[in-house]
Chain A
Amino acid sequence: MSARDVAPSSALATPGSRRRNNGPSAFGDDLRRFWNLTLTLAATDFKLRYFGSVLGYFWSLARPLLFFGVLYAFFTQVLRLGAGIPHYPVYLLGSIVLWTFFTETTGGCVQCLLAREGLLRKMRFPRLVIPLSVALTALFNLGTNFVAVLAFAFASGVEISWTWLELLPLIALMATLAVGIGMLLSALYVRFRDIQPIWDVLQQILFYGSPIIYVTTLVGEKAGIRWQHALVTLNPIATILTQMRHAFVDGAAPTAAAAAGGTGRLAIPLAIIAAMFALGLWFFNREAPRIAENL
């Protein structure tokens, strides 16, 4: 029976004033509330992290910084990897901070619906709020971490340039990719609990498959394939980090377009990002009405 069939008997005189109760959905019917909720959840998480302990801000910085310290010591002192790369430490720190944003978002999204089970089972609100708030919290963290990156860049003598502004669209691209994957993972986790270990492994592979501890220019040619081109073309994270190096660390380094072997080839990583986002959104939207009962 549709709403139309009922109309005469229940005096549905003003359809505009009556909200059809569609049950839960990904977006809800009030964008303002959607945004308010996302912001509130994210701000609460952020606040809890920073004010929960005395050294809150320090701890959130400590993780990427320690990771950076270990990698830096190992690759510059033991492997002598960074020798020929200008401002290698700045690049390393910058890429680690961006990577941390990516893993915080995707990794946090995996179990986010389960963690908010209480809310999901008790209240009507747009389901998409939950993975988005995870991404937003990670974005706040990225902001605070980037303060350290900037300080480090100044101290290392990196030249300030207008091209630094390119970081904003780069971060936006990274966020789009991470949210797309996050939506997919969170909805999948409701059905399949082993998404968690699977994603852990994939994340490891992705870490070494992206130019985080190395730079794209170090990737050579073998068996007639320009691996550098392949990497930058097929891995959107590599594309973003390569462009980041050019715009932020070293103007002499190749742009993403150059590393990919042509501007036209950049369409592929952009398409991958868009496709991941669309896939994640489609799947999450499809699953949203039943998340509460399937958990």
Chain B
Amino acid sequence: MTSTASHPPAPAAAPRPSTSPAVVVRHVNKAFRIPHQQYHTLKERALHPFRKNTYDELRAVDDVDFEVSEGEFFGIVGRNGSGKSTLLKCLAGIYDVDSGDLHVRGRLSPFIELGVGFNMDLTARDNVMINAIMLGLTRQQARERFDDIIAFGGLEDFLDLKLKNYSSGMIVRLAFSVAIQVDAEVLLIDEVLAVGDAAFQQKCFAEFHRLKDEGRTILFVTHDMSAVERFCDRAVLLEKGKMVALGEPYTIARRYNELNFGRTVHELPEDGGEDEGRFGDQSAAEIVEAWFENGAGERVGDLAHGELCRVCMRVRFHETVEHPVFGFTLRNDVGATIFGAHSDMTIGPTGVFAPDGEAVARFEFQNWLVASTYLLTPSIARHGPGADAYDLRTDIAQLIVHGGFYTGGVTNLPHTFEVKSA
């Protein structure tokens, strides 16, 4: 990982001097009992008075121990079922812990789920009041902040509309606006940013930054490593309830990707002939596999921003093929094509290949892509005008890029800045 040092460093600002931690988690354990047979009625209980209650114990949170300083933006990441949400629920005071200590200083605004207690049969006006009170405001405070809440959500025109007539996005906006107006010192955020349109998301992040600048502490649970790298000061990685790593978001994101995909190439599953994304008859040539390599020539599933990246494919020929055109297309997670390259543009004629021969094509570039997931579509086509593909396989390999600044676009080009008073 040395190659990344010279490139834009991960935005991991050092945590502020922790005079007094806002959240302290000390050796917290939380287990759920999963009974083999659950007695839900008195009758069942009475019929089997002597049957022993056997159960499995699921250790959802296992000896987790960390501190979050005041004003820190702290990420909690992990795969599904790693205990993130249980931990957050313990922090929010919804679940009791089995052992260990949790301290939260100040008022807590849990965004465990937005709009808890919203009633679809009431108007937005009533729901805002109820939700604000649920989150800990008094009636007086709720009334005072009412206008701000509505203004933030941009819902002035729909005040007296019943919530059942709202679009789902509007409900989320309303809920978020309420939650943000409850001045909590500690905010718990559980993947709520996935909802809402782009403009509102941007507004939310801006709001988080404002809150952070005001010295609020934010605990952020997510799967989205690019968000972790963009916003968090530090993060903790959980796996099966245990703390795997704690540190800079860049490192955590990398560990997370390793956990998910191992160190090997990630190839999307493929079942024989019924490949929907496969085009061409493969009679003359077929693409056997495609993968990503790092600068050292190792197959990888993830790469740091700024590293050398090689895109590779192995082709087997069934007939004699003259000067076939090798092509690569990279698409990002939303399906937009980021980049494409063909051998005839770059090197021209590729040579003649005999039946049963194989070839490996490599395309190399400096990875200036922003942190995201990218999918590779390799192709091999007949030489000449027109797209007459022998074989084209859509999205058969995946690469996760991490690190680097979020630029708002799809790339982060090496650049310099100059400002001079003229």
Interface residues of chain A, those whose CB is within 8 Å of chain B, are 1-3, 6, 10-13, 17-24, 32-33, 36-37, 40, 44, 47-48, 52, 118-125, 192-195, 198, 289-290, 292-293
A125 lies within 8 A of B95 (CB):
no
Interface residues of chain B, those whose CB is within 8 Å of chain A, are 19-21, 24, 26-27, 32, 40-43, 45, 67, 89-97, 99-106, 108, 110, 112-113, 116-117, 119, 121-122, 126, 129-130, 133-136, 138-139
Q: Which residues of A contact B90 (CB under 8 A)?
A: 21, 23
With contacts A122-B113, A124-B94, A192-B40 known, what are 11 further pairs, Cβ within 8 A? A1-B99, A6-B26, A12-B103, A21-B90, A21-B104, A32-B138, A119-B117, A124-B93, A192-B42, A195-B42, A292-B89
Q: Which residues of A contact B32 (CB under 8 A)?
A: 293
A118 lies within 8 A of B94 (CB):
no
B116 lies within 8 A of A123 (CB):
yes
- Contacts A10-B67, A198-B42 given; does A3 touch B92 at CB 8 Å: no
Report the bound CA distance from A89 to B122 in whole Å. Answer: 39
- Contacts A1-B27, A10-B21, A10-B24 given; does A123 touch B94 at CB 8 Å: yes
A13 lies within 8 A of B20 (CB):
yes
B103 lies within 8 A of A19 (CB):
yes
B41 lies within 8 A of A124 (CB):
no
Most B-side CB within 10 Å, residue of A11, A122, A124: A122
CB closest residue in chain B, given A30: B136
Choose from A3, A36, A125 the contact partner of B103 (Cβ within 8 Å). A3
Q: Which residues of B contact A32 (CB under 8 A)?
A: 138
B69 to chain A, nearest CB (A): 11
CB closest residue in chain A, given B96: A23
Report the bound CA distance from A290 to B91 in whole Å. Answer: 15
B134 lies within 8 A of A123 (CB):
yes
User: What are 13 contact pairs spanning A and B, CB under 8 A?
Assistant: A3-B101, A6-B103, A18-B103, A18-B105, A20-B101, A20-B102, A23-B93, A32-B138, A48-B121, A123-B92, A192-B42, A192-B45, A290-B96
9 smallest CB-CB distances across A and B, nearest first, come from A23-B96, A124-B93, A194-B41, A289-B96, A21-B102, A122-B116, A192-B42, A40-B133, A122-B112
B115 to chain A, nearest CB (A): 10
Interface of B (DSSP majority class): mixed
- Contacts A44-B119, A124-B93 given; does A192 touch B41 at CB 8 Å: yes
B133 to chain A, nearest CB (A): 5
B117 lies within 8 A of A33 (CB):
no
Report the bound CA distance from A45 to B268 in whole Å. Answer: 51
CB closest residue in chain B, given A121: B94
Q: Which residues of A contact B102 (CB under 8 A)?
A: 20-21
CB closest residue in chain A, given B24: A10
Report the bound CA distance from A192 to B45 in whole Å. Answer: 9
A40 lies within 8 A of B122 (CB):
no
A124 lies within 8 A of B96 (CB):
no
CB closest residue in chain A, given B91: A21
- Contacts A11-B21, A36-B133, A125-B134 given; does A193 touch B40 at CB 8 Å: yes
Report the bound CA distance from A22 to B92 in whole Å. Answer: 10
- Contacts A1-B27, A1-B99 given; does A19 touch B92 at CB 8 Å: no
Report the bound CA distance from A119 to B104 in whole Å. Answer: 21
Q: Which residues of A contact B139 (CB under 8 A)?
A: 36
Report the bound CA distance from A122 to B118 in whole Å. Answer: 12
Report the bound CA distance from A35 to B116 in whole Å. Answer: 19
Q: Which residues of B contact A18 (CB under 8 A)?
A: 103, 105
A119 lies within 8 A of B101 (CB):
no
Q: Which residues of A contact B117 (CB under 8 A)?
A: 118-119, 123
Report the bound CA distance from A40 to B139 in whole Å. Answer: 9
